[in-house]
């Protein structure tokens, strides 16, 4: 439809002229640490795609882990969607009823996959008492699991160009009526029908799959304020919500206030924003901030694209009220893990939000969508996993998010040595990663940086490497990283050395390697061999009178160096 193309072009020109200037960065004006200390803030995503606990509900598991998370330095936890799903074991992204947090008998169950409303509220209260904010995963783009079908007029569109009709308008039957009988109008009386949606992907009458734009004199077609991929990317999956409908806007705005007040949540993670009317989402955030008096409300959005240029307009439009998961940086980490020593580490930040607008970036290594077998599979392999975490946790920019699957035992993606190394890096972030950063891009396969410390906080020196291990064959456990924690390297390997300046205040001091626990390397015959770090014994670096020291790390590994007088003997084992 030619008029749609012109309208789309006009809208993008209007946005460019209106929001041509970038807003103030988002992170400095958001609450990252509820206790308002100068400690480093840290987010944890507390679930994997198939997360479950054998003895208790997920909400009870989270409550039990709250003290441990606080001890690690966690200040925010992103929980899975708390709403009732279309299936008993649905993760919540298959959103059925946002107002049912595990309170009503719907879809064959009272609790959600994650537990009951009462358990959720209790867990959030426990988190708050330990200085941890909880983020609500808001699935506002679509609904699934309707209670009954309706008949209405719709137009099939081309999947790769949703502005182009694929056939004539006709009557179809779609599962678009949501009655929520089990909730009996508690909290919200809105009954959703096809009038509240823009499209769907199934004609039940003809049993035909496709993308259908709902058509009537009350419908306005696809929203124009969405991503332009596939011509118009309003439709993603399920039954697509029309955020221009006044009943929809009122219901969702009320839910935003209610869910934070009911659960004790402190902010939102917004799912799939490239498919949502961005004017609505901006109004939603402003409404919650204003009505609840939370001008420091934390919000992070998922705009899934490896291309920074696609994200830039959204950074402008959301006017400093939203942070963004740094998907381009994630893909850099993924590509580095796939390429091995062929990847130039000096370009690891290239094209990332972290480099472009660090105070708008929420950095992450992996999440539930990037797991092997998931829709956005782009897993960072164990050969580079800890180097990746060292970058997001210790670099001093952006707001890092750690993935449950890398930290806690699970059946999907857990690697015990990676988890052990990650816990050590979390300690390093909490204790030593302070002050300005000075980079030392030594070579393609080894880079380093120094955190200078300050205000009574210690700093650290960090090196990461993706070089190959000499003497080890490709595919061996050591090369693949599955048999080592990334902290050390076999005795037969050589170490990188980078001269770095840790500051005049550290002149004449001694630095110790913090990532120095012994590691267990598979020998390939079912046995294991425990060795010291790179054969260096009690390795130290003596800093000269000008603050310079020769710091090392193993090939294909990493090292974090800290002042010996800042590390108790028991902490350096």
What gap in Å lies between CA 487 and CA 571, rounded to an integer?
15
Q: Binning pLDDT at 50, 70 and 90, where does residue 92 land? A: very high
* pLDDT at res. 466: 97
pTM: 0.91
Q: Which residues contact 423 (CB under 8 A, 6 or more apart)?
A: 72, 407
* pLDDT at res. 380: 98
What gap in Å lies between CA 300 and CA 7, rounded to an integer?
29
HSE (side-chain half, CA atoms, 13 Å) at 140: 30
331-363 core/surface letters (b: 16 or more CB in 10 A; e: else) = bbbbbbbeebbebbbeebbebbbbbbbbbbbbb
Cβ count near 22 (within 10 Å):
14
Q: How does pLDDT run across 104-158, given as a tens digit for each residue?
A: 999 999 999 999 999 999 999 999 999 999 999 999 999 999 999 999 999 999 9
Across the range 228-241, mean pLDDT stands at 97
Closest by alpha carbon to 49, among 99, 108, 113? Answer: 113
Supply the residues annotated as catalytic: 271, 302
Q: How does pLDDT run across 469-478, given as a tens digit for each residue?
A: 764 433 333 3
Q: Binning pLDDT at 50, 70 and 90, where does residue 36 land? A: confident
Question: Is residue 247's pLDDT more than 80?
Answer: yes
What gap in Å lies between CA 404 and CA 46, rounded to an integer?
5
* pLDDT at res. 516: 65
Q: Binning pLDDT at 50, 70 and 90, where does residue 3 land? A: low
* pLDDT at res. 19: 57
Q: How does pLDDT run across 548-571, given as a tens digit for each residue?
A: 999 999 999 999 999 999 987 656
Closest by alpha carbon to 148, among 171, 172, 173, 176? Answer: 176
């Amino acid at each position: 439809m030619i008029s749609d193309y012109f309208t789309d072009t006009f809208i993008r020109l209007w946005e460019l002229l209106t929001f041509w200037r970038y807003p103030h960065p988002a992170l400095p004006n958001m609450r990252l640490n509820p206790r308002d200390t100068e400690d480093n803030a840290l987010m944890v995503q507390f679930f994997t795609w198939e997360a479950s606990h054998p003895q208790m509900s997920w909400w009870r598991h989270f409550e039990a882990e709250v003290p441990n998370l606080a001890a690690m330095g966690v200040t925010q936890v992103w929980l899975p969607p708390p709403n009732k799903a279309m299936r008993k074991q649905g993760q919540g992204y298959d959103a059925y009823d946002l107002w049912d947090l595990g309170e009503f008998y719907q879809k064959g169950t009272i609790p959600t996959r994650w537990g009951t409303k009462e358990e959720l509220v209790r867990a959030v209260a426990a988190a708050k008492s330990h200085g941890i904010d909880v983020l609500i995963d808001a699935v506002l783009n679509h609904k699934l699991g309707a209670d009954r079908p309706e008949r209405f007029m719709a137009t099939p569109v081309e999947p790769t160009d949703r502005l182009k009709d694929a056939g004539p308008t006709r009557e179809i039957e779609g599962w678009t009526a949501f009655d929520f009988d089990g909730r009996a109008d508690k909290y919200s009386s809105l009954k959703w029908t096809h009038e509240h949606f823009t499209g769907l992907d199934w004609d039940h009458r003809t049993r035909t799959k496709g993308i259908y734009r709902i058509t009537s004199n009350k419908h306005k077609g696809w929203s124009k304020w969405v991503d332009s991929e596939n011509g118009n990317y309003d439709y993603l999956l399920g039954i697509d919500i029309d955020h221009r409908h006044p009943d929809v806007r009122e219901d969702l705005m009320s839910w935003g206030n209610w869910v934070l007040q009911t659960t004790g949540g402190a902010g939102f993670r917004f799912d799939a924003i490239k498919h949502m009317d961005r004017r609505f989402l901006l109004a939603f955030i402003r409404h919650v901030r204003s009505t609840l008096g939370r001008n420091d409300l934390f919000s992070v959005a998922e705009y899934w694209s490896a291309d920074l240029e696609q994200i830039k307009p959204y950074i402008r439009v959301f006017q400093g009220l939203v942070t963004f998961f740094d998907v381009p940086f994630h893909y850099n980490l993924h590509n580095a893990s796939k390429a091995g020593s062929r990847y130039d580490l000096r370009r690891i930040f290239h094209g990332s939000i972290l480099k472009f607008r660090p105070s708008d970036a929420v950095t992450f290594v992996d999440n539930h969508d990037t797991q092997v077998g998931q829709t956005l599979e782009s897993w960072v392999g164990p050969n580079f996993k800890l180097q990746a975490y060292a970058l997001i946790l210790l670099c001093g920019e952006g707001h890092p998010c750690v993935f449950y699957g890398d930290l806690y035992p699970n059946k999907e993606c857990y690697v015990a040595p990676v988890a052990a190394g990650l816990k050590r890096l979390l300690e390093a972030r909490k204790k030593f990663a302070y002050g300005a950063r000075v980079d030392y891009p030594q070579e393609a396969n080894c880079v380093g940086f120094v955190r200078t410390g300050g205000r009574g906080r210690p700093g650290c020196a960090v090196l990461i490497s993706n070089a190959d291990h000499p003497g080890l064959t490709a595919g061996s456990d050591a090369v693949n990283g599955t048999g080592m924690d990334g902290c050390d390297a076999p005795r037969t390997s050589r170490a990188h050395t980078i001269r770095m300046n840790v500051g005049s205040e550290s002149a004449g001091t001694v630095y110790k390697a913090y990532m120095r626990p012994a590691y267990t390397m598979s020998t390939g015959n079912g046995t294991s061999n425990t060795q010291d770090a790179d054969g260096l014994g009690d390795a130290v670096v003596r800093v000269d009178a000008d603050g310079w020291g020769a710091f090392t790390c193993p090939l294909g590994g990493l090292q974090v160096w800290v002042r010996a007088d800042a590390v108790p003997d028991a902490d350096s084992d």
